Amino acid sequence: MNTLNSNIFFENTTYNQTSQNIAPIIIADQLKTGENIGQIIRLAGNTGCRKVLIINNNQAPRQSKILRVADVAGKIINWQFCETSNIMKLIPSDYTIVALETSPRSKNLFSTQLPKKMAIIVGNESQGVSETLMRISQLEVHIPIAGPVKSLNVAQATGLLLFEWVRQNIINT
């Protein structure tokens, strides 16, 4: 992508900005790669998220890799490592906790009204969302996949969910 053309486009095209009093919070559950964490921080910047909480349980990827991929978003988005036991203290009480996971209780993302104030949990690249965090989720959503490959990269899945939230709560309001 030509950055110069992109900058000109967005100077001439405006969209409603995400208000910080409803901005989503991302909870990244024990992700293994700095690249995925960096991409999620960048997505948080694209969609106006309030913060990114990275549950690491003492297994943190290298910060230099995270910051390289996050680019500018790594400097302007509030992000931090935390432990599972502290997560509820870091989320406002009026937020709905939404797990992005395929499960018997999950609903199709594109036919579900997402909460205006939500904290989304995205899971580890191979294990998904931990049982501990699934228990605190109030809503579970999945991305309908029509092709033969039934899995998505965690950052891609996070992007789909965030931009569906933007479409529902920012663009179409």
> CB–CB of 46/160 below 8 Å?
no
CA-only gyration radius of the chain, Å: 16
> CB–CB of 123/96 below 8 Å?
no
pLDDT in tens, 59-110: 666 788 899 999 999 999 999 999 999 999 999 999 999 999 999 999 999 9
Whole-prediction pTM value? 0.92
Domains defined along the chain, listed by start = 18-171 (3.40.1280.10)
Write the DSSP string, 121-166.
EE-BTTTBS-HHHHHH-SEEEE----SS-----HHHHHHHHHHHHH
